[in-house]
């Protein structure tokens, strides 16, 4: 067969000295990287810091790195068989070891850990995942007689997959919405699950809001959390100082955030992409520093507590008894339960998120959104066509900020307490990661990414400390693998000669 022949000609004899040199260089670099920071641990001792050595981990890191590089070289040189036949059993042994560590008690676990290069099970699981991916690649290469896909083929394949997901979203979207609607009444939905659901929905809303700015208009905003903070503080301050209710404050909080967005955007939106990113980041930090230090107004690091909970549209309260008016339980003839408020909050954020979603879907059909997308693709051409870049960008920036303001006031009313701690740069980075992972501009992608990034770590609490590490790594890997975003697929918004054409006919 032609493929087999091609395979035969591709598999040149292995240049052993060159491979050895490459492996040696890899080992040396990893050793140098690990020696300082992994090899020595600074410890807190009375009166200063002490030091502890961890040379075992350095050796482990070098060994794992060299083995991984060897596997990659073998795959590159069209020799997948050794990778498959050596890698698969090795991965299996590690898997069995790891499983037995988690299954058997701590004593057996400690004894078994001696067989692993790293003491931390999470690190080992991470290495195992990479090893399994390499083995799968090798297996694919052996069965398909080829050394994997070329980048172009892979890109085309991922694009087809993304297109399929986006088409499925037409069906999947209503299904997910339906699930969310009945979710609070499902038998397994306890308080904890509802809280996680509320959290995930908050991030979905923020992701969709940022998607307008980053995905549609192509403006990289690293200070999105600033508008979230403006919304939260607007509501919290109005509610605690003026005693205004959530429903009165909600539009006002959105307005304040949008104003902040326009005020910031006006001078800086003519900057080029990466400068804009840094300026928005600086602005986000500025807002936080001001909130932290303007003690007489924002109570600084103490935060604002006692923020009122939302009422049932101003008709009834979610408390056991009230001084005046009615309680929610009385209004509907139910017995009082604290879960009623949680369920109400869940529906509230669901409704807010859906407002953002519907808004985005509808505005994509309006000229202003077409102008955003055109600006994202080519600003110079847009200028030539008579689009005012600054005003057009300003609308996107303002609208995105407004939705962040809504989400912020929801956050404040749900928590009952806010402080500048909640609005750090990391928060912006997380929201951005959700948009990036989902594929810029893809609505369903944001949902998937928010569930993966926010929902999953909530279940695996012990992963919490590794969460941000994995975040950073995921952002890098996804950009390296698909710079357009994981589930990115751009259907042209409009076509010449109607929409029939060859829409979605692959490639």
Q: Which of 132, 176, 278, 368 binds other proteins (CB under 8 A)?
A: 278
- Please tell me whether residue 397 binds other proteins under the rule CB under 8 A: no
| 239/324 Cα distance (integer angstroms) | 19
Binding string, 208-227, against other proteins, x = CB under 8 A?
----------x-x-x-----
Q: Which of 227, 283, 328, 346 binds other proteins (CB under 8 A)?
A: 283
| 364/372 Cα distance (integer angstroms) | 9
Q: Which of 19, 22, 27, 35 binds other proteins (CB under 8 A)?
A: 35
DSSP state of 39: T
Nearest distance in Å: CB 398, other proteins: 18
Nearest distance in Å: CB 95, other proteins: 23
247 contacts: CB under 8 Å, gap ≥ 6: 310, 311, 313, 314
Nearest distance in Å: CB 198, other proteins: 25
Among positions 229-268, residues that touch other proteins (CB under 8 A) are 267-268
- Is the CB of 284 or the CB of 408 nearer to other proteins? 284
The two tokens of residue 429 are: 């980075």
Q: Which of 281, 353, 418, 453 binds other proteins (CB under 8 A)?
A: 281
In this chain, which stretch among 132-140, 333-341, 360-368, 424-432 interacts with other proteins, using CB under 8 A? 424-432
- Is the CB of 222 or the CB of 394 nearer to other proteins? 222
The two tokens of residue 307 are: 């923020």
Geometric angle at alpha carbon 352, from 350 and 356, rounded to 5°: 110
- Is the CB of 156 or the CB of 176 nearer to other proteins? 156
- Please tell me whether residue 473 binds other proteins under the rule CB under 8 A: yes
- Is the CB of 317 or the CB of 427 nearer to other proteins? 427
Distances (CA, A) of 488 to 24, 44, 173, 458: 38, 47, 17, 26
| 260/26 Cα distance (integer angstroms) | 49
- Relative to beta strand 316-317, strand 326-327 is parallel
HSE-up (13 A, CA, CB side) for residue 331: 17
Do the beta carbons of residue 157 and residue 149 sit within 8 Å? yes
Q: Which of 442, 475, 456, 476 is nearest to 158 (CA)?
A: 442
Among positions 442-471, residues that touch other proteins (CB under 8 A) are 465-466, 468-469, 471
- Is the CB of 14 or the CB of 476 nearer to other proteins? 476
Q: How many residues at the interface with other proteins, by CB under 8 A?
A: 56
- Is the CB of 89 or the CB of 472 nearer to other proteins? 472
- Please tell me whether residue 37 binds other proteins under the rule CB under 8 A: yes
The two tokens of residue 441 are: 């501009």
DSSP code per residue over 373-406: HHHHH-HHHHHHTT--HHHHHHHHHHHHHHHHHH
Which runs of consecutive H residues, i.e. helices, occur in 77-190? 80-103, 106-113, 121-144, 151-182
Q: Please report, as ranges, the residues that interact with other proteins according to CB under 8 A.
A: 29, 32-33, 35-38, 40-42, 44, 48-51, 218, 220, 222, 267-268, 271, 273-275, 277-279, 281-283, 285-286, 289-290, 292-293, 380, 425-426, 429, 432-433, 436, 465-466, 468-469, 471-476, 479-480, 483
């Amino acid at each position: 067969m032609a493929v087999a022949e091609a395979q035969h000609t591709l598999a040149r004899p292995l240049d052993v000295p060159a491979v050895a040199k490459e492996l040696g260089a890899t080992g040396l670099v990893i050793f140098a990287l690990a020696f300082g920071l992994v090899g020595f641990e600074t410890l807190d001792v009375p009166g200063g810091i002490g030091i502890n050595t961890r040379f075992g981990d350095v050796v482990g890191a070098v060994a794992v790195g060299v083995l991984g590089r060897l596997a990659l070289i073998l795959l590159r040189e069209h020799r997948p068989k050794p990778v498959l036949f050596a890698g698969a059993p090795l991965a299996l042994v590690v898997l069995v070891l790891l499983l037995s560590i988690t299954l058997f008690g701590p004593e057996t676990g400690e004894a078994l850990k001696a067989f692993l290069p790293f003491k931390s099970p999470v690190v080992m699981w991470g290495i195992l995942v990479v090893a399994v991916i390499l083995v799968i690649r090798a297996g694919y290469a052996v069965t398909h007689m080829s050394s994997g896909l070329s980048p172009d083929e892979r890109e085309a394949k991922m694009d087809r997959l993304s297109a399929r997901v986006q088409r499925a979203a037409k069906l999947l979207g209503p299904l997910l919405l339906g699930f969310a609607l009945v979710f609070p009444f499902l038998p397994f939905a306890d308080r904890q699950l509802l809280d996680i659901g509320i959290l995930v929905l908050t991030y979905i809303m923020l992701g969709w809001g940022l998607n307008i700015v980053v995905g549609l208009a192509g403006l990289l905003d690293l200070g999105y959390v600033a508008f979230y903070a403006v919304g939260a503080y607007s509501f919290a301050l109005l509610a605690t100082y003026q005693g205004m209710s959530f429903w009165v404050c909600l539009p006002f909080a959105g307005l304040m955030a949008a104003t902040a967005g326009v005020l910031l955007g006006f001078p800086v939106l003519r900057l080029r992409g990466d400068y804009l990113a840094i300026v928005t980041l600086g602005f986000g930090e500025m807002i936080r520093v001001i909130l932290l230090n303007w003690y007489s107004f924002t109570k600084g690091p103490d935060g604002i507590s006692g923020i009122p909970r939302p009422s049932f549209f101003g008709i009834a309260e979610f408390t056991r008894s009230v001084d005046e008016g009615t309680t929610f339980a009385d209004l509907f003839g139910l017995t009082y339960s604290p879960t009623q408020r949680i369920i109400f909050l869940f529906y509230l954020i669901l409704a807010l998120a859906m407002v953002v979603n519907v808004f985005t879907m509808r505005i994509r059909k309006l000229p202003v959104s077409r102008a955003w997308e055109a600006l994202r693709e080519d600003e110079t051409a847009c200028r030539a066509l008579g689009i005012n870049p600054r005003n057009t960008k300003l609308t996107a920036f303002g609208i995105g900020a407004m939705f962040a303001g809504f989400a912020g006031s929801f956050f404040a009313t749900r928590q009952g307490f806010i402080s500048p701690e909640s609005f750090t740069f990391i928060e912006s980075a997380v929201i951005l990661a959700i948009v990036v992972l989902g594929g810029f501009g893809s609505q369903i992608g944001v949902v998937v990414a928010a569930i993966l990034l926010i929902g999953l770590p909530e279940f695996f609490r012990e992963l919490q400390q590794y969460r941000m590490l994995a975040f950073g790594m995921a952002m890098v890997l996804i950009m390296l693998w698909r710079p357009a975003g994981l589930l990115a697929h751009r259907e042209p918004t409009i076509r010449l000669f109607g929409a029939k054409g060859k829409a979605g006919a692959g490639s």
